[in-house]
């Protein structure tokens, strides 16, 4: 939000009473409803999954929905968070670096989100302090209540108005017991009070324990977590119970009695073969209609649209159980001990596998100790590999060994961001004869800096803004694999998060040796996709194509990789390009 907008955003401010509630100009109370999802017992249980699945059901009914994730940490965005601690950093089209749950929403809703759909305590406090410095609070002492909570409500209402949403889905990160979430929860209580009856639906996600030594489900921890929520003044309307196995009737009854929530609104959200089956479970349990009744918006639904949307979704989910073959894809990185570090890659592989009727197994390969001498042992049982993105030097030589093995042994290869750069370095060293070629990120004084920060980026390094972030157009070269994979489009849009590029002075030498740069930034010497023509499937991209893969629109590069892995294990299968075009064309037609 611009400074002028910040200054103009507070309305209905008075020093004479306590009804401080900033309202955006043009906001109509009652038009938008709010569904607020909170966690109890522990974090990481799937609030984003539940929220996005329920949002999809509402969207299918013809309602306009938009999500927002509220995070308690003081970082302005997620860009500096370690993947070991917080999972992958998901990048939106506008360049906002955010929580991985935004990826879940984008995939489920097939909707591009923006920075307006993500907020941190750092953003909230920064906005409040900016207004305080500009005298926007009319001399009042600035407090957590009503000013900070008011800023949260303002952000939600502004989003509701700008998106013209029927329902805003609000997910609060962490759990009810987290100190940093206290003011978010208070803001939600105030919002429900101010918006009036039937304006808000509160969902508590909890956890049902099932100790192996006892052999039965225990709901006491869940009861205590819900009690803690109720002590904040919030009465949940729906309880979602996470568990390994279906939550039994006895446990659900205990939760119902303890929380004053009718039994039909206590939902068993147990482990599923795929998160894409959860919308069906919600629909079968009737939770979607319970929400419509709670918010009194049954009259806004479109049943014809719902039937059409559900038919398309069912066509997709029916494929989950159709497995004609199995392949193993190796993910060769340095964050492999934390699966959430590669959440979007996992989802993109799942989308490709489902559409191809193939079970994609993942082998996690830590590249820290990989060398040219032991690489064959590490990759002996994989049908294709992905070298994913990452920052820093650890594990890079192991990644280069993986690239070389894939190139020399016709193993299907897809390099993402750093994986693209490692492919350039490997090719420069072992094909072009540029011994010790490297990236200046890894070896600043390398004799052949084939990967470097471009001059125009170096000029703004002091501002901390030299990273290429968000959606960028890519110009594809005709008659290349990339051009054919994307249905012979001349321009495609993918998302980026990197600093280092192929140094333009090495491009001619690399191309003369046989490397093809099939995608570049329009009107700039920035190489964004590479391939090897005489290889079954060897591609790299500076982008993160996994960020734009959707269940009903699988990402072509991932479909190509998995199709190539199938072709490797089942040579009788159709040509890879034929398969990719058929799948992507059918998926596009379905949506």
**Dist. CA 516–CA 539, nearest whole Å:** 10
**Dist. CA 316–CA 590, nearest whole Å:** 9
Q: Do both 266 and 348 map to the same domain?
A: no
CA distances from 466 to 315, 454, 469 (A): 43, 10, 9
pLDDT digits (tens, 9 = 90+) for 41-81: 888 889 999 999 999 999 999 999 999 999 999 999 988 88
pLDDT in the model for residue 463? 41
pLDDT in the model for residue 337? 62
pLDDT range class, residue 125, cuts 50, 70, 90: very high
pLDDT in the model for residue 462? 44
Q: Do both 10 and 77 map to the same domain?
A: yes
Q: Do both 191 and 267 map to the same domain?
A: yes
Min mean pLDDT across 19-33, 265-279, 324-338, 401-415 is at 324-338
Min mean pLDDT across 390-394, 431-435, 450-454, 555-559 is at 390-394
Selection from 585, 542, 545 nearest residue 561 by Cα:
545
Q: Do both 383 and 284 map to the same domain?
A: no
pLDDT at 13 over 60: no
Region 71-100: what's the mean pLDDT? 88
pLDDT in the model for residue 574? 82
Domain count, the chain: 2
What does the buried/exposed string (b/e) look like for 553-576 if buried means 16 or more CB atoms within 10 Å of the residue's CB?
bbbbbbbbbbbbbbbbeeeebeeb
Q: Do both 262 and 190 map to the same domain?
A: yes
**Dist. CA 231–CA 226, nearest whole Å:** 9
Residues whose CB is less than 8 angstroms from the CB of residue 9 and which lie 6 or more positions away in sequence, other chains included: 1, 22, 24, 131, 154, 158
Region 410-418: what's the mean pLDDT? 96
Min mean pLDDT across 118-132, 327-341, 498-512 is at 327-341
**Is residue 176 a contact partner of residue 40, using CB atoms and an 8 Å limit?**
yes
Higher pLDDT, 31 or 465: 31
Cα Rg of the chain (Å, integer): 25
Residues whose CB is less than 8 angstroms from the CB of residue 480 and which lie 6 or more positions away in sequence, other chains included: 516, 518, 531, 533
Query: To which residue do tokens 């799948």 refer?
Result: 583
Higher pLDDT, 118 or 579: 118
Q: Do both 277 and 411 map to the same domain?
A: no
Beta strands in 429-490 (DSSP E): 438-439, 449-452, 468-476
Q: Do both 348 and 243 map to the same domain?
A: no
**Dist. CA 353–CA 180, nearest whole Å:** 40
pLDDT digits (tens, 9 = 90+) for 517-539: 999 999 888 999 999 999 999 99
pLDDT in the model for residue 159? 97
- What's the mean per-residue pLDDT of the chain? 91
Q: Do both 237 and 371 map to the same domain?
A: no
Q: Do both 335 and 404 map to the same domain?
A: yes
The two tokens of residue 170 are 């609000």
CATH number of the domain residue 179 falls in? 3.40.50.300
Q: Which domain holds residue 556?
A: 322-590
Angle 30-31-32 from CA coordinates, rounded to 5°: 95
Q: Which ranges of 61-144 does DSSP label H, i.e. alpha helix?
A: 83-86, 101-109, 121-133
CATH number of the domain residue 529 falls in? 3.40.50.880
Total residues belonging to the chain: 591
Beta bridge partners of 360: 327
Q: Do both 312 and 328 map to the same domain?
A: no
Provide the percentage of residues in the chain whose pLDDT is more than 90.
77
pLDDT digits (tens, 9 = 90+) for 300-334: 999 999 999 999 999 999 999 888 899 999 999 87
pLDDT in the model for residue 457? 61
pLDDT at 144 over 80: yes
Region 14-27: what's the mean pLDDT? 76
Q: Do both 382 and 279 map to the same domain?
A: no
**Dist. CA 483–CA 486, nearest whole Å:** 6
pLDDT in the model for residue 324? 84
Provide the percentage of residues in the chain whose pLDDT is more than 70.
93
Q: pTM of the entire structure?
A: 0.92
Of 316, 348, 383, the one marking the end of a domain is 316
pLDDT in the model for residue 5? 52
pLDDT at 368 over 90: no
Region 86-104: what's the mean pLDDT? 92
What does the buried/exposed string (b/e) look like for 35-61 if buried means 16 or more CB atoms within 10 Å of the residue's CB?
bbbbbbbeeebbbbbbbbbbbbbbbbb
Of 280, 295, 316, the one marking the end of a domain is 316
Of 283, 316, 349, the one marking the end of a domain is 316
pLDDT in the model for residue 8? 47
How many other CB atoms are found less than 10 A from the CB of residue 211?
9
pLDDT at 10 over 50: no
**Is residue 211 a contact partner of residue 218, using CB atoms and an 8 Å limit?**
yes
Q: Do both 411 and 500 map to the same domain?
A: yes
pLDDT at 14 over 60: no
């Amino acid at each position: 939000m611009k400074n002028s907008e910040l200054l103009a955003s507070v309305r209905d401010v008075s020093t004479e009473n306590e009804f401080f509630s900033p309202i955006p100009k043009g906001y109509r109370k009652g038009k938008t409803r709010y569904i607020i999802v909170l966690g109890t017992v522990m974090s990481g249980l799937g609030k984003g999954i539940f929220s996005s699945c329920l949002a999809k059901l509402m969207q299918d009914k013809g309602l306009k929905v938009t999500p927002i994730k509220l995070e308690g940490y003081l970082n302005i965005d997620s860009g500096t968070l370690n993947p070991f601690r917080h999972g992958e950093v998901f990048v939106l089209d506008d360049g906002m670096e955010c929580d991985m749950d935004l990826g879940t929403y984008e995939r489920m809703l097939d909707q591009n989100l923006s920075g307006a759909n993500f907020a941190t305590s750092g953003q909230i406090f920064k906005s409040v302090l900016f207004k305080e410095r500009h005298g926007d609070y009319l001399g009042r002492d600035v407090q957590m209540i009503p000013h900070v909570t008011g800023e949260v409500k303002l952000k939600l209402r502004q989003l509701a108005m700008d998106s013209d949403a029927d329902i805003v889905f609000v997910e609060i990160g962490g759990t009810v017991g987290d100190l940093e979430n206290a003011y978010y929860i208070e803001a939600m209580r105030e919002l429900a009070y101010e918006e009036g009856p039937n304006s808000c639906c509160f969902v508590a996600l909890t956890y049902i324990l099932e100790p192996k030594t006892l052999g039965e489900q225990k709901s006491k921890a869940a009861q205590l977590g819900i009690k803690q929520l109720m002590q904040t003044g919030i009465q949940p309307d729906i309880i979602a119970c996470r568990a390994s196995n279906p939550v039994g009737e006895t446990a659900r009854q205990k939760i119902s009695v303890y929380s004053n929530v009718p039994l039909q609104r206590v939902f068993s959200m147990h482990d599923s073969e795929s998160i894409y089956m959860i919308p069906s479970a919600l629909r079968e349990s009737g939770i979607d209609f319970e929400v419509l009744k709670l918010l009194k918006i049954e009259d806004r639904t479109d049943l014809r649209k719902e039937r059409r949307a559900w038919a398309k979704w069912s066509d997709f989910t029916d494929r989950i159980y159709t497995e004609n073959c199995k392949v193993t894809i190796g993910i060769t990185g340095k964050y492999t001990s934390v699966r959430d570090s590669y959440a979007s890659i996992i989802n993109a592989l799942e989308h490709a596998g489902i559409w191809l009727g193939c079970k994609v197994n993942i082998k996690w390969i830590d590249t820290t100790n990989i060398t040219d001498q032991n690489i064959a042992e590490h990759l002996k049982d994989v049908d294709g590999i992905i070298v994913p993105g990452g920052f820093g030097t650890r594990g890079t030589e192991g990644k280069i060994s993986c690239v070389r093995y894939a190139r020399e042994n016709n193993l299907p290869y897809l390099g993402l961001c750093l994986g693209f750069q490692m492919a350039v370095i490997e090719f420069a060293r072992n094909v072009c004869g540029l011994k010790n070629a490297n990236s200046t990120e890894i070896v600043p004084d390398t004799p052949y800096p084939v990967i470097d920060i471009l001059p125009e980026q170096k000029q703004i390094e002091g501002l901390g803004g030299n990273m290429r972030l968000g959606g960028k157009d890519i110009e594809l070269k005709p008659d290349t694999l990339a051009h054919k994979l994307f249905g012979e489009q001349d321009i495609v849009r993918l998302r980026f998060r990197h600093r280092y590029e192929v140094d333009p002075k090495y491009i001619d030498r690399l191309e003369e040796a046989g490397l093809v740069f099939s995608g570049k930034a329009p009107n700039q010497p920035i190489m964004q996709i590479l391939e090897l023509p005489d290889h079954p499937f060897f591609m790299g991209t500076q982008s993160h194509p996994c960020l734009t893969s959707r269940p009903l629109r699988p990402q072509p590069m991932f479909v190509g990789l998995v199709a190539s892995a199938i072709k490797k294990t089942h040579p009788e299968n159709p040509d890879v390009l034929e398969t990719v075009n058929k799948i992507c064309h059918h998926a596009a037609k379905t949506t």
